[in-house]
């Protein structure tokens, strides 16, 4: 039998973040999203993040789905829901993800009602703080915007409305066109 998972501390938050990641991937050809899939980072690190977002290899990504159906290589973004696992997620996994070049690492500490967005810069993770409106957004995935106060309040409607607004921006449209161009050149 699998380890028990609490609905309020893990399963519902996981569902909200998966919906957010999936919505972004569906609106962004060349980007993949998955939940709870095994990622082959290296010989010693084969984690199963709660969520991942990656650029397809043909679009310039560092990972690929291998012949056995696993993601091989680092996805550009990994997400963990940390209810009882904060010490692992903020230490061992953070170091493994950093060493393997995962550009962005998000940790929702549900019991603490806190959220961390780490961005890899010069070999170390830097914490990205929300802007004055409470929004986090990064350049790896143009248009990927997270309304952190809405997330912490589990207001999925606002989380998705914020994302959908960002998906209509010129920056996101330009990113989609750039990914399409990369994929065309790789053929």
Which domains does the chain carry?
A: 7-129 (3.90.1570.10)
Query: What's the rounded mean pLDDT across residues 126-148?
Result: 93
Cβ–Cβ under 8 Å, residues 68 and 96: no
User: What digits encode the pLDDT tens for the residues 52-86?
Assistant: 999 999 999 989 999 999 999 999 999 999 886 56
3-state SS class at 15: helix
Mean pLDDT of 134-149: 93
Q: What phi, psi does 104 have (nearest 5°)?
A: -135, 135
90 confidence band (pLDDT: 50, 70, 90): confident
Q: How confident is the model at residue 87 (pLDDT cuts 50, 70, 90)?
A: low
Residue 40's beta-bridge partner residues?
Answer: 72
pTM of the model: 0.92
Written as one string, the DSSP assignment of 59-121 is GT-S-EE-TTS-EES--SEEEEE-SS-HHIIIIIHHHHHHHTT-SEEEEEETTTTEEEEEEEE
Task: For residue 40, report the phi and psi dihedrals to the nearest 5 degrees.
Answer: -90, 100
Q: CB-based contacts of 10: which residues, under 8 Å, 6+ apart?
A: 81, 83, 110
């Amino acid at each position: 039998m699998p380890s028990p998972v609490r609905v309020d501390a893990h399963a519902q938050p996981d569902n909200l973040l998966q919906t957010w990641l999936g919505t972004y991937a569906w609106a962004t050809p060349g980007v993949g999203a998955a939940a709870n899939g095994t990622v082959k980072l290296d010989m010693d690190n084969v984690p199963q993040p709660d969520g991942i977002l990656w650029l397809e290899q043909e679009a310039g990504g560092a990972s690929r789905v291998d012949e056995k159906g696993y993601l091989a290589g680092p996805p550009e973004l990994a997400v963990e829901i940390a209810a009882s696992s904060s010490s692992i997620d903020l230490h061992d996994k953070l170091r493994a993800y950093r060493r393997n070049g995962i550009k962005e690492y998000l940790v929702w500490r549900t019991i603490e009602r806190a959220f961390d967005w780490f961005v890899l810069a010069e070999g170390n993770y830097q914490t990205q703080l929300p802007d004055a409106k409470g929004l986090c957004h990064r350049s790896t995935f143009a248009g990927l915007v997270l309304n952190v106060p809405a997330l912490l309040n589990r207001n999925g409607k606002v989380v998705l409305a914020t994302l959908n607004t960002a998906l209509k921006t010129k920056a996101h449209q330009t990113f989609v066109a750039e990914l399409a161009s990369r994929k065309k050149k790789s053929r």
